Every structure is written in structure tokens, then in C-alpha cells.
Structure 1
Amino acid sequence: MLEFVIDRKKCRRCSLCVEDCPVGIIEKDRDGFPVISEEKETVCIRCQHCLAICPDAALSILGKKPEDSMPASDMPTARQVEALIRNRRSVRHFKKYDVEFETIRSLLCVTANCPTGENRRELTFTIIDNRADMDKFVEKAYALLEKRVDEGTLPDEFRFYATLLKRYKNGRDIIFRGAPHLIVASAPKGEGTPAADCYIALSYFELYAYSLKVGTVWLGFLAFMFEFMPEIKDVLGIPADHEAPYALLFGKAKYKYPRGVQRDDFRISRPEF
């Protein structure tokens, strides 16, 4: 059941929801009010565009009520968004204490609103939310890496991980960098756009995290480990049928950056027709 409900006292029958529905299943009844016929309910992609576009706050769907949505009037200015993007930094030095639970919960709730291919929304976030568990994971990850090194089963292109292992044993963790937290985005293999969905989600997470004064860094080292040492996914409990293309480390940044960098150079290609 879609629970598609129209408050007829509020609805002015403007038809915006009818016109904007991506799959075209909203129609008008004999009185001009929006309606979705029962046989078309299965076509709904649950995007909630109809809820968002209603100027009269007269439409509810999927049990979601307009008064519970964040109003568009709360949008940041273009300058504020620009400042967030320009000042985002990859954080490689973290404070030792955990990020507050409510902050992590807020990060996940907001990230869950990111777009996904075909609006499938099949992402799973595997998260380590406390330093004690992070320390255990790091220890297990390096143990698995050491086993690969001892067996001589590291692929040639990843032989440099043996050096990273030595650095870890000498007290310098270049892979996990002493971060208190880790998040991995994964999605079922096959249909849709699982890899792209994961990258988009982590990008949303990263930007929102920075607005909350939580630092992040993209963990390419772990992404490669997923490739040549897939058993590490089992350690994290990532479903076997999921793609998990990337991960982020996050935590409170040890250092502050009083300004952004200057990277306005770019390459452009214009097709000729």
C-alpha cells in the first residue's frame, strides 16, 4: 500500500504532482483531485516527488506527512555551499576520542537521502562507530595482510602493502591512520548502478560530515584490499552478494584548516556536431 492520501481541504487541484510524477501514475479523479489507481501502485518508485512538490502540503504518501519534511526555505545559500566544497579537506590526523552517537546517526540519516540509480535505495552502510572496535578491526586487517605477505600471495601490483605492514609494525599506521571510525557503502551486485550509488552516498556523507566538523578521508588502501584480500569483507560482515567499491575513515580532525585551497583549473571537452 502506498498510503497516497490527499487532504481535500488543502488541495487546490493544481496538478503539479500529476505533471511531475516520474512514472506518470498520478491521475485526476472525477473531481480533479490527484489519485493513484490500485493497479498502478506497483509502478511507483517511491521517490516522494509528489510529497515534495505539493505547494499546499496536502499530499502524504508512504506514511510520510509534509509537515515532517524539511522546508525548502532552509536551503543554504550558494556561497555557503561553495564554502563547504572549497574548504573540505582530506583528514589524515584524527583525535583519539569517538564521534558522538547522535552525530553519527545524523550523518547516516541525511546520507540516506542521497540519490540512487533507478531510485533502488538498496545501500547498506557498514560502520564501525567506536574506537575499541576499530582497533580490533585494524589488528585483524593487518593480520590478514601479514598472512598474505608470508605466503607470498600478494599480487605484483600490490607488493607495496608489505612496506605498509612494516610501517605498521614500527608504529606508523599509514592505512587506517588512527581514525576512530570507518564506513563502507555497499549495494547488491547486478541490476541498477551499485558502484555509482556507493560513491554518491559516500560523497554526501563526506560533505555533511565536514559541515558537522567531522573529518573524513577516502580509504583507497582498503578498497584495494577488498580486491586482493576479499576475506577482509567477511571480517566486516559485508554481504557476499554486495559490491563495496570504497570506504571512508572519519573522526574529529586533529588539525584545523583556516582556509581552502585554490584549484579552479579544469579541463573541458566540447563535442562538435
Structure 2
Amino acid sequence: MKIAIDPVLCSGCNRCAQVCPLNFSETPRGKPQVADPVLTCFHCGHCVAVCPEEAVSHDGLSDLRFTPLRDLPAPAQFMSLLHARRSRREFTLQPLSREEIDALLTAGAQAANGLNRRDVGYTVVTEPATLKELSRRIGKQTLWMAARLESPLWRLVFRMLMGRGYKELEPLFPLFKPMASALPRGRDMILYDAPCAILIHTRPGDPCGAENAVYSGANILLAAEAMGLGACVIGFLTEPVNRSQDLARLAGVPPGHKVHTSIVAGHPRFPYARGIAHPAPQGADGLSRGSSSPTA
């Protein structure tokens, strides 16, 4: 791996040394030098992206495309997108095109990534029969669990088996029976008859896997909104797939991978008339001593 600075193009701004002090250092002459040999490099591309003169080259970044920063949304436009984003569960029968799916996955790949490993995996399910079978099996499991949860003894068993997970899921228990019971009546409240499901997963032992997957999922949700699509996070897909090898195989998740977030996407049946602006957090931790968060 080789990193180089073109001495003719370099203006001596030293921005590369500021974003990557591991491999760049300022010199008395005012122009930075590159470490030789190159030290630890996470292939983030900051050194190339920050240079205003295009003087930095890095032969380990051949798969990246560096583009001019144009057409960035104004803050008000970005906030409007955030206000518009909704969890959409009402879809038309129109399938997503290959181009639409690729655009969503490309958006996910732009997300922040711990250690810049770029090892987040995406399993896309678009086969209608597979989606229906996933809903059917998960609905059957959910209905079985809902029946057991009516017994105090079974609740104790689940609490012992699930540990902290039981407490996290407890607020959802009242939803299990109505959601699963709707499926035989023709209403899918598991995957909502979506034409596409995206399961985002990482290899076992990835120290940043959960965060990286969630960051990617957030990008996909925003991209879907910007593209005029609907999308929704489906926790009722994530947990069952992680607990069942049969479901993981049915969905196509690689063996051993853990799914951290699952999203369904499609064309929405109708638009929302208004966005929802949530208030800023009050009394947020981490504010400087002596200051406080604004009050309404």
C-alpha cells in the first residue's frame, strides 16, 4: 500500500496531517510528509477527500469514487425529510425495481462504520412465496408464544430463558395475539405484504456490528423516504430469524451471521398529509456544566 503527495500540487495546507496524524506529519518546510512505511490505515479516504488540490494519492482506495460535494440539502430541507419519514406499513402490489433496491443498498453503504471495516451484510428477499412463508412461520411462532404467555408459569419460564430480553419484549406481549391472529384472516401484520425485505447482518464477533447495521438501516429508511418509497423496521423479523436456523436459511442469511435490523420496503398506497416534528430532548446529559437545555 502506498500513499503519496504530489509536491507540485500540494499547497501546504496540512489538512491531510490534521485528519490523519498517523500517516501524515507537518514539516518545517510547511508541507506534510507521508509515513514510510505506512502505519495503520483504516482506508477511510479522508486524506484524499480533504485535499483541495487533489495532491494526495492512495493506491489502497481504488474501489472508492471521490465526487465533488454538490447539491447538498439546506438544513431546513434536511429537517423536512426527517419530519416526513414515517414507518410505512401500507404498500401497493407493485414490486421494487432492481434499480430502486440498488439505490437503497447504496444509501446503506454510505453510513458511518466503526473501524471502517465495511463488512455489513445485506440479504434482500423479494420472492413473494418466501415473504409469505416468513410471515406464516413467524405468525405461528408468535401465536404459540402468545398462548403460553397467558400462563403465569410459562411467563416465569420465558423470563428465566430470555433473561434481559424478556424485560425488553414485555411491553410488546399484548400485541402478539392480535398480530398473529390477523394472518389467517388475510391481513399480514408481520411483514405487511411488503414486496421487499432487507435483513442487515454482520459476522459474529464484530465489535461494532450492531451499531454499523443500525446506522446502515437508518440511511436506508431516509433514502426510501427521499425516493418516494415506504419503509419500516420490523423487529418481529429480526429476533425470530436470529433464534431459528430454519428461518435464517429460508431468508437466505449467511450461516453464523447475526441480523441486527430488518426493514420492509415498497411503494406506499397513499402519502401522509403532514410531517411530525418531535421536540428537542429536555435536560439532555452531556451539556456543559453551568448550562441547561432550552425550555419551551
Aligned counterpart in structure 1 of residue 47 of structure 2, from 46, 50, 59? 50
Give the counterpart of 2:130 among 106, 117, 136.
136
CA distance in 1, matches of 2:72, 2:33: 28
Matched with 1:176 is: 191
| Alpha-carbon distance in structure 2 between the residues aligned to 1:148 and 1:213 | 32
Gap regions ≥5 residues in structure 1: none
SS at match of 2:237: helix
TM-score when normalising by structure 1: 0.83
Structure 2: how far apart are the matches of 1:73 and 1:183?
Answer: 29
CA–CA distance in structure 1, aligned partners of residues 141 and 81 of structure 2? 42
Q: 1:247 to 1:33 in 2, by over 3 A?
A: same
Aligned residues: 265
Task: Tell me the distance in 1 between the aligned counterparts of 2:103 and 2:33.
Answer: 34
- Residues 83-98 of structure 1 aligned to structure 2 (within 5 Å): 83-98=80-95
Deviation of the 1:145 alpha carbon: 4.8
| Offset at residue 20 of structure 1 (A) | 1.1
Contact 1:118–1:192, Cα closer than 8 Å, also in 2: no
Q: Equivalent residue for 2:180? A: 165
Tell me the C-alpha RMSD between the 2 structures.
3.0
Structure 2: distance between partners of 1:265 and 1:144: 37
Alignment of 1:1-273 (within 5 A): 1=1, 3-21=2-20, 24-27=22-25, 32=31, 34-38=33-37, 40=39, 43-61=40-58, 62-64=60-62, 68-128=65-125, 130=126, 133-143=127-137, 145-146=139-140, 156=155, 161=176, 163-226=178-241, 228-264=243-279, 266-270=281-285
Structure 2 gaps of 5+ residues are 156-169, 291-296
Contact 2:130 2:250 in 1 (8 A): no
Offset, 1:108: 1.3
CA–CA distance in structure 2, aligned partners of residues 212 and 90 of structure 1 = 14
**Partner secondary structure for residue 225 of structure 1:** helix
Bigger mean CA deviation after superposition, 26-35 or 172-181: 26-35
Partner Cα distance (1:60, 1:175) in 2: 49
CA distance in 1, matches of 2:202, 2:215: 12
